[in-house]
Structure 1
């Protein structure tokens, strides 16, 4: 007979897999539009549409009353963390191949496992800790510290943007685990979309006319600071897709980290790695260089080891100690 904890873990895994699929589609759409629109405009449109979808989910999970919270400050901090994660990651997408940016961002599950020790009090043994360190070796390899600027084709700062995004995302998901005890997944999603809307409107008020983009050729800065323009007819379909994806991502990730341990859920986010390679090849005709392939292998291998080790420990705990008769 399966236990309630096992059922919740299985459901959390389904949520994270569906959420990661939606993330991969979202990243592809963002990169597709990054040459014409400013990031804060895409974030505003995506989040406004995502908020509308999320409000429907709020009604399904209990109505407007579930939006009330006794921890508004913590929800605001969580919102700012995910905004920082997304903005820095999407800025990197404008300059890096999709698979490269995604692979660097996948330091996040490693960081979630590492940070779950001091923040959530979860136990991580020596074998899992070793696997995490191996994964970080993959991140360093993809940074190519031996290469010169002419070989990298992008600045070191751009290469670090996905890693910074990973740190912000890891902290966000650990806060989701804490706040999810008293908040529904749809409510957590609504708070996130509202944070995106507030921050993107702030960007519009400061830089929406594009004056700060003048004179810069850096694609990441151009993406951040370009002037707002009205979307063309065909692009509205991409934007609507991003809105639907935003609602799916916000709900599925919040639900997954709400109902299961972070160390159990996080490794399944690695499904996003082959998906990023697939979209990069199919849509942008880009494949990773050997250093990125090697980094992907190290990160993926370490993540799978962490997951298998977690499952092994769970089975031992479920059986309990063997008693002599």
Structure 2
């Protein structure tokens, strides 16, 4: 199987997996009333701890060496800010609504991949991204009047995640995915700890420190770190295999899983218009997948005949 095809498959797997992280964050913030900053810190602390144990088990301290320490810490800080914005958003609004607003991110990623990474972005690929975005608007029509300033938080997450993915593509050739996620975990935990300190100082409820009140919440905090570690390892691997702009439409699969989780966990049943949007989202991803596979196969035919 060709690398770019593997990259698309890995990216799709990650997008179907990561909404579980968002759902747990919403549950902790709404059911157990944990502050979003505490949830964000726990997520990155567990991630860095898990990857540290794995790395030390693989090759000892020597495997912790990185060629891009500051870059990976910045990646983590970006994810820390993005997670904080998103966990705060889902505390006040439905999960699927927040993810629908977040999905301006693939458009940002496609544009940034052309501007920063100098990747070629053809009109067909760009069109697939736009069509997928239209699908997300059909799934959930975000209402600024309904949610107010909270609706802007997923946009902040989108901007952070787009830059994070660009840095993934830039640094993935130098460090292993595990090393990248270890230092990203440290960066995210450090940023979240800073926010906790500021929140405690000024008495901000969402930015302060809190402890779970039920045993299940402790396990869910650990599960969040594990899901985040596995999911973002898949994302890093996908970006080692395929260009950022090619992977952008496949991020829309995340909303498919988010709608499903919203139905099962929070009782949010999709309307017919939402199902139409889901079909459009899936269609845009399948189009890019099939077109890129056939295009690459056509390019390799002359080589095979030589």
RMSD: 3.0
1:130-162: per-residue Cα shift (whole Å, max 9, x none)? 3333344456667858x683xx3x11x322322
**Farther-moved stretch of structure 1 (295-304 vs 204-213):** 295-304
2:104 pairs with 1:107:
yes
Distance 1:172 1:63 in 2: 27
Q: Which residue of 2 aligns with 1:167?
A: 159
Residues in 2 aligned to 1:315 and 1:161: alpha-carbon distance in whole angstroms: 42
Q: Kindly indicate whether residue 207 of structure 2 is the aligned counterpart of residue 225 of structure 1.
A: yes
Does the C-alpha gap of structure 1 residues 65 and 141 become closer, same or farther in structure 2, counting only changes over 3 Å?
same
> How many matched pairs?
304
CA separation of 1:225 and 1:44: change in aligned 2, threshold 3 A: closer
After TM superposition, the structure 1 = structure 2 runs for residues 153-302 of structure 1, keeping only pairs within 5 Å, are 154-155=147-148, 157-208=149-200, 211-213=203-205, 224-288=206-270, 296-302=278-284
TM superposition shift of 1:282: 0.8
Contact 1:107 1:135 (8 Å CA) reproduced: no
- CA drift of 1:175 comes to 1.0
Residues 317, 303 of structure 1: alpha-carbon distance in 2 compared, 3 angstrom cutoff: same
Q: Is 1:48–2:40 an aligned residue pair? A: no
How big is the shift at 1:51? 1.6
Secondary structure of residue in 2 paired with 1:212: coil
Farther-moved stretch of structure 1 (27-36 vs 93-102): 93-102
8 Å contact kept, 1:107–1:139? no
Offset at residue 179 of structure 1 (A): 0.2
Residues 185 and 258, structure 1, Cα contact 8 Å, conserved in 2: no
Change (3 A) 1:227 1:83: closer
Structure 2 regions of 5+ residues with no counterpart? none
Counterpart pick for 1:312 among 290, 294, 299: 294
Q: Distance in 2 between matches of 1:79 and 1:55?
A: 15
